[in-house]
Structure 1
Amino acid sequence: MTFTGFPDEGLLFYEGLEADNSKTYWTRSKDVYDSCVRAPMQALVDALAAEFGAAKLFRPYRDVRFSNDKTPYKTHQGAVVNPEGRGAGAWYVQISAEGLRVAGGAWRLESDQVERFRRAVADDLQGPRLRTEVDRLASAGWEIGGDRLSRVPKGYDVDDARADLLRHRSLHAGRLFEYAGWLHGPAAVDRVRDAWQDLTALNAWLADNVGATAKESSRR
């Protein structure tokens, strides 16, 4: 399937789901989700696969086992590219009623990855590289996020210019493109491509300095 845009029906579907997050609404509207949300998202990431790698589309169902919010369905459709062999550094895209969100980085790091991340941040070569890239992304309008400690971990200089980065247990950058007419056409592919290219240096730093967790091999 060639990506031709996200039909307006898909965004209206999510507006309806936000108002009525029920099995009744979902069952009645599932054909709209399949044809106007999931299928276009698959086509979009397929169009980018040659450059960034194959994507995984997330399931539309929420995991409510440990949540006070028991609404059963996600109000967005997301997809992620985790390039094989990189370990850390992924690309993300999602569509919802508010528009198109793009992001990149690492959303979860295991303890061994966190330790390598901290050592690299403290390193006099790799740390400034990350500092420069994070500052560049923030200046360009990216939101810098991630799980953070309340204070710098023990063993690291609290006066370091990279102290805020040392507090991170994960690190990612994202931005929202609010609803606009281009979402309904093929130009959306170029928007995502340009955004993901802008995140390439961040993902490369994470892949080079953090890599895969040793816990992955222990699970096999």
Structure 2
Amino acid sequence: MSRDVPGSPFAGFQTEALAFYLGLEADNSRTYWTDHRDEWEREVREPMLGLVAALADEFGEAKLFRPNRDIRFSADKSPYKTHQGAFAAAPGGAGYYVEISATGLRAGGGFRAHNPAQTAKMRAAVDAGPPGAELETLLESLRRKRFEVLGERVRTTPRGYAADHPHIELLRHKELMVIRDFGDPTWLGTRRALARVRDTWRSVRPLNEWVATHVGPA
């Protein structure tokens, strides 16, 4: 992740940002990146820095992910990510996420498990009764707000839990994240995008608070 300082005040993501990534998807090469780096700086990096700077008063400092992919252990040797993400850590091991790509804007949060102990603690809390019911209620509320529940899952029943457990679908998760896909709405190129991301992160806060209470940092 980078340690860039915030840039210009946020005024939305323009169509040129999406066009940059559309071109990168078609030609994910060092030549394309070099030829279009100024566009990435101007249309992607600077607006994203402005966005997270405007959110820092409420959610803390966010870091931009580096544009380069780690290809050392990947069969896909494409050198560049086809999106720009940023992450603001929340107390207790979870956090808030925002992303711009060729398809538009996404935002959400939650936690990505860094070790089996985190997964075990989450499952124990879900199994405990009231915390599991609370988490189910939180996720149902987020689904009604058009969030998608994500995170690596096992296909079978986790060891030590019954297949007919009332929260079996949650227990299959190794980690727990939610995302809302806004696409490319008319307001994306305006400051209204800031309000939408801020509202999205506020909606995610109860989930992050649950993680802080019942899972904790890695």
Q: TM-score range by the shorter chain?
A: over 0.9
Given the two structures, how large is their TM-score scaled by the length of structure 2?
Answer: 0.93
Q: CA RMSD in A?
A: 1.2
SS in 2 for 1:199: helix
Distance in 1 (alpha carbons) for counterparts of 2:15 and 2:172: 41
Query: In the alignment, which of 171, 177, 181 is matched to residue 172 of structure 1?
Result: 177
Distance in 2 (alpha carbons) for counterparts of 1:21 and 1:212: 35
8 A Cα contact 2:94 2:208, kept in partner: yes
Cα displacement (A) at 1:141: 1.6
Displaced runs of 4+ in structure 1, greater than 6 A? Answer: none
Cα displacement (A) at 1:138: 1.9
Aligned twin of 2:42 = 35
Query: In the alignment, which of 75, 80, 97 is matched to residue 102 of structure 2?
Result: 97
CA deviations over 1:31-89 (Å, ceiling 9, x no partner): 11011100100000000001011001000001111111111111110000113xx2322
Query: In the alignment, which of 65, 68, 76 is matched to residue 69 of structure 1?
Result: 76
8 A Cα contact 1:52 1:81, kept in partner: yes
Cα displacement (A) at 1:151: 2.0
Aligned twin of 1:122 = 127
Aligned twin of 1:216 = none
Aligned twin of 1:187 = 192
SS in 1 for 2:67: coil
**Match of 1:72, as an amino acid?**
P
1:70-219 aligned at under 5 Å gives the runs 70-83=77-90, 86-213=91-218
Aligned length: 211
1:18-57 aligned at under 5 Å gives the runs 18-57=25-64
**Match of 2:59, as an amino acid?**
F
Distance in 1 (alpha carbons) for counterparts of 2:100 and 2:167: 34
Instruction: Call closer, same or farther: CA 1:176–1:11 in 2, change over 3 Å.
Output: same
Distance in 1 (alpha carbons) for counterparts of 2:15 and 2:120: 45
**Match of 2:94, as an amino acid?**
G
Q: Percent identity at matched positions?
A: 47
Unpaired runs of at least 5, structure 1: 214-220
CA deviations over 1:87-107 (Å, ceiling 9, x no partner): 322110000110001121112
